[in-house]
Amino acid sequence: MTEPAATVTVRVPAKVNVQLAVGGPRPDGFHDLANVFLAVGLYDSVSATPAPAPRLTVSGPDAALVPLDESNLAVRAARLLADRHGREPDVHLHIAKDIPVAGGMAGGSADAAGALLACDRLWGTRTPHEELLALCAELGSDVPFSLTGGAALGRGRGELLTPLETGGEFHWVFAVADGGLSTPDVYRECDRLRQAEGRGADAVPEPEPDPALLTALRAGDAAALAASLRNDLQPAAVSLRPSLAETLDAGLAAGALAGLVSGSGPTCAFLVQDAASAARAAQALLASGTCRTARPAVGPAAGATLV
């Protein structure tokens, strides 16, 4: 097999969960989900260049928050692919980071999907798409969606994807918080709050996708989507970070159709009518002092793409 010597770069989007229905805890520690993912146009880029030994570098305003050791999901992805093909992970990975770190927007998952695709192309290993998806699922529940992008329903722990049709573009503003939230902590807090309300694991219904939400996505109807946005992890994220309630209020006061915590948070996502409303809402959110930055973005966005 011949290997191209040049750098391969892959661009990968962030996600927002327009519906995140969470079941009770499973024996393996995960939760069954009805997880409606929408990829949005905030991107990380992962570049892979041949190197004598594995190496990782990260650039971008929040680069200091990203681990450079073996725990980095992009490094783990390159190792997994190399192992699968019986070769050394002799690659220099560079992540140009623009997705908020530990923000509930699947930034690490994006880097894992990007590293898999970039290394597969660099090494000429030509892994079939289904096998790449299986490797993604080994790396994390959100990683398969980072590869495919668009819009999809995730069942199981979120890794079993069915693509969804969308009838148009949706405009969002993302209010990025100072500091992150740990995903396992947020799931644990969700279980704790449910227990405290007398809703133990047995009383939690099977998570199911909301037909009204799927219809709104298919129609490209922002007002209808706004009416059906739902995140079962939101009370847990707000319990761990009470200031998010103020951010959510500020987004509504800024004219958003609706707002919710993105995934495990702490980023808050606001659905707006159009690009002009997004620009206005972003300015108002920033002026409110309830977030660190406010970023407009459009979804659906393409999944991991060679550039």
Ligand X SMILES: C[C@](O)(CO)[C@H](O)COP(=O)(O)OP(=O)(O)OC[C@H]1O[C@@H](n2ccc(N)nc2=O)[C@H](O)[C@@H]1O
Ligand Y SMILES: Nc1ncnc2c1ncn2[C@@H]1O[C@H](COP(=O)(O)OP(=O)(O)OP(=O)(O)O)[C@@H](O)[C@H]1O
List active site positions: 15, 142
Q: Find the part of the chain contacting ligand X (CB under 6 A) among 27-35, 55-63, 172-180, 237-245.
A: 27-35
Neighbours of 240 (CB within 10 A): 17
Q: List Cβ neighbours of 178 (8 Å cut-off, separation of 6 or more).
A: 292
CA 83 to chain centre: 26
By the rule CB under 6 A, 67 interacts with ligand X: no
What lies within 8 Å, CB to CB, of 201 at 6+ separation is 24, 25, 191
Cβ proximity to ligand X, 111 vs 125, nearer residue: 111
Q: Which is nearer to ligand Y, 173 or 233 (CB)?
A: 233
The reply, when asked if residue 101 is annotated as ligand binding, is yes
- Please, which residues have CB within 8 angstroms of residue 97's CB and are 6 or more apart in sequence? 44, 58, 59, 60, 62, 63, 66, 107, 111
Span interacting with ligand X, options 30-38, 54-62, 128-136, 283-291, rule CB under 6 A: 30-38
- Residue 274 CB: number of other CB atoms within 10 A? 10
Give the amino acid at 261. V
Residue choice 166, 264, 267, 290 for contact with ligand X (CB under 6 A): 264
Say if residue 109 carries a ligand binding annotation.
Answer: yes
- Which tokens in the block code for residue 259? 């707002």
| Closest distance to ligand X from the beta carbon of 202 (Å) | 17
66 binds, among ligand X, ligand Y, none (CB under 5 to 8 A by kind): ligand Y
Task: Give the interface with ligand X as residue ranges (CB under 6 A).
Answer: 17, 20, 29-31, 33, 35, 106, 109, 140-142, 157-158, 183-184, 187, 263-264
Task: Give the interface with ligand Y as residue ranges (CB under 6 A).
Answer: 66-67, 71-74, 95, 101-109, 111, 142, 180, 183, 263-264
